[in-house]
Amino acid sequence: MDKKVFSKAELGRFQNAEHSEFHRLSLAICMKYASKISAPPLIDRYSAAVTQEIAVFKAIRRSEYTEKKLEVDAKRDAAYIGLISSVRVNRKSFDQGVRDAADHVYVLLDSYGAVTRMGYDAETAAIDSIVSRLQGEAYAHSVSMLGVSAWVSKLNELNAEFKILVDERAQEEAAIPNIKQKDARLETDISLKHIIERVEARITLGELTDYENFAGEYNVLVKHYNTLVHEHYGRTHIRTDIAPAIITPVGEQKYTGKPVFVIPEVRLKTLAEDGTDVFIELVFSVDFTVAYKNNISRGTATLTINGIGKYKGELTTTFNIGN
């Protein structure tokens, strides 16, 4: 045999999902051509290894709890940023009473440092403390004067939701198998290697001549997954344009003599894995920022959404400030 009959899969570079799926499909091919391999113990070992790897991958991959936790944490950060931004703006109010109230609350918030950059546990504890104090008697007047009680309530709500998700995730993690993903992958790779070596040895010894279909199907599979690897490593990051996004209409806002800040719901259409159109909700301060114009006086105010992070571009809408 002048050259290898079976193509080499770049298994070490496969992502975990690709790795387990490749082996699932490879095992199916091996089972189909079991008579060519003529080594049931090798196939049994490979089958057991593949089953184990898939089980480990399903157990430790990012769960729905983790995805939800990240989403709620982003919203929690946005609520905190909204709160502190409102306080900062009011520190420049023409009304001395408002400025004093803003300074009172700002000193408290500033004493906690960069809350949104803390670890999960530290941020949760900090927000619990902040909310408790802002809802207490000592800050009641200042919070009311600034009109930020809605921000405080929302922050408290999101922090409570986050704590529930952390507890649920902890319960889920308790069920994760002890075997590591790396060990499971290694066992699967070795098991497949022994099968390939077995078949190539039989071809070299002349014991197997009709192997073309087996090798052909396997090599097509390898080519497909190796191509995926090359796409991963050669891909450049492309930011998505936020311009086609849809902004939920902003209702009329009450005139207060102070700047009006509104964080609208922004949704962007994308393709789901099954090819259907779905809308995803973008997250303030993670996917976009908001700029305002003419948002103090009665009349039409302008709100501009600017893409950040994975997004670029901008889109604008208006809302009315009434009596």
pLDDT digits (tens, 9 = 90+) for 223-281: 988 887 776 655 444 678 898 899 988 889 988 888 888 888 898 887 655 556 778 88
Least confident of 133-137, 214-218, 266-270: 266-270
C-alpha torsion sign, points 251, 253, 254, 255: negative
Sketch the domain layout of the chain as residue ranges.
Answer: 11-62+175-234, 64-173, 240-322
Least confident of 52-56, 101-105, 164-168, 269-273: 269-273
**Residue 227, C-beta contacts closer than 8 angstroms, at least 6 positions apart:** none
The top-scoring range by mean pLDDT among 62-66, 107-111, 209-213, 310-314 is: 107-111
